[in-house]
């Protein structure tokens, strides 16, 4: 099932995607936030589809499927070796001496999250180096700690797309940690909906692409991850409880703007299209917004 949230007649509703239509569940139906935390809520959404109002998917005002966060968004860095290698010597003194032997984790604030078609807040006073990162995002569907790797995918409640828009100068400026350069408000599109695991034959065989103003800049597959999604969940949860509803980003492939020659940074008016096979697409525009 593919389910999310949309605004109809000024009201946020739960929707289920059915080809070129969406089933809009009535007010009072469980929300996607409910469904990723409670199996009964997910089943209630499934059961409500048959009698739900049908609306065209085209032009539907989709919103970020998740609006209630337990904590910061949990993120994985350097999870594609080609991306790790392309940035060597371009991290302004923050290069590790060798490839990591475990996943690299960081967090970003939940106020970064925007919808799949929302404008990305762009303020050149905040940063002069705005970059893109197409990623697969996971929402945890079952609470657990020290989850074994061979059981880790059982804890996935669904898959989404994210673009981890980053400010590279801020990322470098604050002691070598990435939180500040990843946490500017209203800069991370998420969605377009949640795709349940039964819809994905193999999460490690999904094409990821990113287009900037119609030009393809990232083109890869999740086969190229350095650490599998299962390993990411297992290592992140080692001694640390992951809760249903937590969002985990799984890393971006090669092709980022900071690593290119010449470098490419996002600017006002840019059109971003982020796609993952089987999960849909995000379409966003950089719009000048006063943040400082």
The tally of domains found in the chain comes to: 2
- Residue 94 pLDDT > 70: no
Q: Which of 63, 88, 108 is where one domain is finished?
A: 63
Phi, psi of 53 (to 5 degrees): -60, 135
Residues 6 or more apart from 235 whose CB is under 8 A from it? 102, 103, 227
pLDDT band (50, 70, 90) for residue 92: low
Tens of pLDDT, residue by residue over 123-182, are 999 999 999 999 999 999 999 999 999 999 999 999 999 999 999 999 988 887 899 999
Residues 55 and 87 placed together within one structural domain of the fold: no
Give the pLDDT mean for 73-82.
Answer: 95
In a domain, 112, yes or no: yes
pLDDT of 285 reads 98
Q: Which of 39, 63, 87 is where one domain is finished?
A: 63
Residues 136 and 260 placed together within one structural domain of the fold: yes
In a domain, 68, yes or no: no
Give the pLDDT mean for 247-269.
Answer: 97
pLDDT of 151 reads 98
Tens of pLDDT, residue by residue over 139-149, are 999 999 999 99
Residues 244 and 214 placed together within one structural domain of the fold: yes
The CATH number assigned to the domain holding 156 equals 3.90.850.10
pLDDT of 177 reads 83
- Residue 28 pLDDT > 90: yes
pLDDT of 283 reads 98
pTM: 0.96
β-partners of residue 53 are 24
Burial of 45 (0-12, 13-18, 19+ CB in 10 A): buried
Mode of pairing for the β-strands spanning 156-163 and 73-77: unpaired
pLDDT of 91 reads 65
Burial of 180 (0-12, 13-18, 19+ CB in 10 A): middle
Give the chain's mean pLDDT. Answer: 96
> What range defines the domain where residue 166 resides?
73-288
């Amino acid at each position: 099932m593919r389910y999310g949230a949309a605004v109809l007649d000024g009201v946020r509703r739960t929707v289920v995607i059915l080809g070129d239509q969406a089933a809009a569940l009535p007010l009072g139906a469980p929300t996607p936030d409910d469904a990723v935390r409670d199996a009964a809520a997910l089943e209630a959404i499934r059961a409500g589809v048959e009698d739900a109002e049908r609306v065209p998917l085209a032009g539907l005002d989709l919103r970020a499927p998740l609006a209630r966060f337990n904590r910061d968004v949990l993120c994985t860095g350097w999870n594609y070796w080609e991306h790790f290698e392309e940035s060597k010597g371009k991290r302004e003194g923050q290069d590790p001496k060798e490839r990591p032997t475990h996943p690299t984790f960081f967090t970003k604030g939940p106020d970064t999250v925007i919808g799949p078609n929302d404008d990305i807040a762009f303020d050149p006073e905040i940063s002069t180096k705005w970059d893109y990162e197409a990623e697969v995002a996971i929402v945890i569907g079952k609470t657990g700690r020290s989850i074994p790797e061979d059981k880790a995918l059982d804890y996935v409640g669904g898959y989404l797309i994210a673009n981890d828009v980053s400010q590279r100068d801020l990322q470098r400026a604050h002691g070598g940690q990435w939180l500040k350069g990843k946490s500017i408000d209203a800069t991370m599109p998420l969605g377009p909906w949640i795709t349940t695991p039964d819809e994905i034959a193999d999460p490690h065989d999904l094409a990821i692409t990113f287009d900037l103003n119609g030009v393809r800049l990232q083109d890869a597959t999740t086969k190229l991850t350095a650490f599998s999604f299962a390993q990411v969940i297992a290592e992140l949860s080692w001694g640390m409880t992951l809760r249903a509803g937590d969002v985990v980003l799984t890393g971006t492939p090669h092709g980022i703007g900071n690593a290119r020659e010449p470098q490419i940074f996002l600017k006002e008016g840019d059109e971003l299209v982020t796609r993952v096979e089987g999960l849909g697409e995000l379409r966003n525009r950089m719009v000048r917004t006063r943040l400082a």
